[in-house]
Amino acid sequence: MALRLGLPLRDMEMVQFHPTGLLGGKDTRMTGTVLEEGLRGAGGHLLDGNGRRFMFDYDEHGERATRDIVSRGIYAQMRSGHTTPNGGVYISMGHLGADNVRNKFRGMVKRCADCGFDLAGGRVEVVPTAHYFMGGLVCDPDTTTELPGLFVAGEDASGMHGANRLGGNGVANSTVFGGVAGDVMSSYAASAGPHQDPDETIIEAEISRALHPFSKKPGNVNSLREDLMDIMWDNVGVMRTAEGIKRGIGQIRQLKAELLETGVGEFDTIFNVTWNDWLNLRSLAETSEMIAQAALSR
């Protein structure tokens, strides 16, 4: 929304990856679900497909290094070909005692069990997963932006965490600046005067933009979404190069053009999940291109 309005954005390339997202294969939507850092903090081991503990190859703190280091270590191991059946690495907790793990990490044990993994006594496949966005709108400490009446907090705002958020600070950020935004918004509402009449031209343009896919021949929106995920992972993911980013930008632009020629079927605006997915994908593609452009500039 802010991008379409032309508001200034900052640090859009700063995407934090959590090192241990559950890797359940393509048959489950649980893939990417975060397995908490407490597992590594308690002494969990990361093993490659050959069962070798590898993180000390990348940092003296091993699995207890910061998220960015562990994510890069896992990604490098994956690129070397020493992967698990689904293409990731393992997290192993069994050496800590199965009963101990079940007692301390009940939620994580259940989450893994739902996908057929035994976290307490076996090995669970994991992969780095996009987790937190350090970039966003430029705003003042009181959450105000260049657009009067628009306030921003949490992951939509930039500048609170630098280039790498530390664990636990996401909740603190949302709590603190959410509270600030609430106070400032109430003061603004009390002093802003009567509401202005909406700009009918803008409303009509937004309606036209939203209804665009109904004018096109139906296509596979989900396939395009998966293509975008692959483009970003391969070119603008954990490890980036100028060549890869440029390639990714070209592929994103091609996907955007394909999306504009992809429809969603009969005109139906009530509980139309495909239409919702189409609108979300257009925003995802626009944001992805901005992330890639910022990364290339950086």
Task: Tell me, rounded to whole angstroms, the distance of Cα 44 from its chain centroid.
Answer: 24
Which among 115, 93, 114, 116 is positioned nearest to 104, based on CA atoms?
93
Closest among 83, 86, 88, 77 to 20, alpha carbons compared = 88
The neighbouring-strand residues paired with 46 are 91
- SS3 (DSSP) at 212: helix
Structure token pair of residue 267:
């005109």
Catalytic, out of 67, 111, 123, 225: 67
| Active site (annotated) includes residue 67 | yes
Q: Which residue, chain included where needed, has tokens 């989450």? A: 111
User: Looking only at Cα atoms, what is the longest distance across the chain?
Assistant: 67
The Cα–Cα gap between 51 and 22 comes to 18
Cβ atoms of 45 and 92 closer than 8 Å: yes
Which phi and psi angles does 144 have, rounded to 5°? -75, 155
Amino acid sitting at position 220: N
Please list the active-site residues: 67
